[in-house]
């Protein structure tokens, strides 16, 4: 009889744990997803650093979206001083760069091992398909995910925002104006944020409507359009908007009137539940920048 009780109790615990697993964001850790543009004065970078554990935490910068190979096929190299400059201004003491154009290199222990004790990973802007070409299906991508599993943080801006989604918006090699790529290899991002399609620069480049066809074709996805200098901070199935301006939510479960756009807009301070598709808390809409080292 005791064995039956223990088995039943174990089953209930397993069901309870399963119910707590997020559908969208990571079960542990956090995501900081920025819509491009300057982050100075927004508190976005400071929030990322705080989530990683502060200025002394080990943080890895991935510049790969900026370009993999030049016209002659040689690996594009990045100057550490330029890559690290905005982070050193925040007082970071343990910042590193990781970059390759070769997925065979990214699949090696020698390359990926530096991520094992990292507390944060940040993807710079550029073209998101470069990251796919370098890291998809490799040990390095596995170690990116492990950063979250340890309770760390993954962030990124512009292409570094879109790569965090499931469907890869603007993944076409031919140009960023192509919203839905014809290339099967470039249809999927790294899905740190599951069941999502993420666009950026929506205010400065008038991209408010651009991912409508994506959601029409894949209605199970949540579409997220990010203004410049604006980010969402994801924990589990909820996120908070921080920064300067607006986030567009393309929610196919919502009924829209014929005269309405098929999305709605939320503001800084708003807390949104991706699972219930509701705003749980409305903020002031006023920018209140965070400071590095302040939790």
CATH of 27-281, one of 3.40.50.880, 3.30.160.60, 3.40.50.150, 2.60.40.1190: 3.40.50.880
Q: Which token pair is 269?
A: 């301070």
In sequence order, the β-bridge partners of residue 141 are none
The predicted pLDDT at position 250 comes to: 97
pTM of the prediction?
0.91
In the chain, count H helices and then E strands.
Answer: 9, 13
**Residue 1's pLDDT is what?**
42
Could you list the pLDDT tens digit for every one of the 295 residues in the chain?
444 444 554 544 444 545 589 999 999 999 999 999 988 889 999 999 999 999 999 999 999 999 998 888 889 999 999 999 999 999 999 999 999 999 999 999 999 999 999 999 999 999 999 999 999 999 999 999 999 999 999 999 999 999 999 999 999 999 999 999 999 999 999 999 999 999 999 999 999 999 999 999 999 999 999 999 999 999 999 999 999 999 999 999 998 998 999 999 999 999 999 999 999 999 877 665 555 443 3
**pLDDT of 148:** 98
Domain ranges, ordered by start, for the chain: 27-281
Q: What is the pLDDT of residue 289?
A: 58
| pLDDT given at position 7 | 56
- pLDDT score, position 253: 92
Which pLDDT value is given to residue 72?
85
- Residue 283 has a pLDDT of 85
pLDDT at 200: 98
Cα angle: 135, vertex 138, 143; to 5 degrees: 90
> Which residues 6+ apart lie within 8 Å of 285 measured at CB?
267, 268, 269, 270
Q: Are strands 222-226 and 120-123 parallel, antiparallel or unpaired?
A: unpaired
The β-bridge relationship of strands 95-97 and 59-62 is parallel
């Amino acid at each position: 009889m005791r064995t039956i009780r223990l088995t039943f109790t174990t089953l209930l615990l397993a069901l309870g744990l399963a119910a707590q697993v997020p559908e969208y964001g990571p079960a542990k850790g956090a995501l900081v997803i920025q819509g491009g543009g300057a982050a100075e004065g927004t508190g976005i970078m400071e929030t990322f650093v705080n989530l990683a554990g502060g200025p002394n935490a080990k943080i890895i910068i991935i510049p790969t979206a900026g370009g993999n190979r030049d016209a002659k096929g040689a690996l594009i190299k990045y100057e550490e001083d330029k890559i690290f400059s905005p982070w050193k201004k925040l007082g970071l003491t343990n910042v590193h760069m990781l970059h390759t154009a070769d997925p065979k290199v990214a699949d090696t222990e020698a390359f990926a091992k530096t991520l094992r004790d990292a507390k944060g990973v940040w993807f710079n802007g550029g073209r998101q398909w470069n990251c796919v070409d370098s890291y998809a299906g490799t040990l390095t991508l596995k170690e990116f995910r492990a950063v979250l599993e340890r309770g760390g943080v993954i962030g990124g801006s512009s292409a570094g925002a879109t790569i965090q989604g499931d469907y890869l918006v603007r993944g076409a090699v031919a140009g960023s104006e192509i919203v839905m790529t014809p290339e099967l290899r470039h249809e999927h991002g790294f899905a740190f944020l599951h069941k999502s399609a993420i666009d950026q620069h929506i205010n400065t480049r008038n991209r408010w409507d651009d991912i409508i066809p994506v959601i029409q074709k894949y209605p199970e996805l949540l579409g997220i359009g990010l203004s410049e200098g604006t980010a969402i901070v994801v924990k589990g199935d909820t996120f908070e908007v921080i920064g300067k301006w607006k986030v567009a939510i393309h929610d196919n479960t919502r009924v829209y009137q014929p005269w309405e756009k098929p999305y709605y807009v939320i503001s800084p301070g708003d807390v949104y539940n991706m699972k219930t598709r509701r705003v749980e808390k409305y903020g002031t809409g006023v920018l209140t920048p965070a400071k590095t080292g302040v939790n």
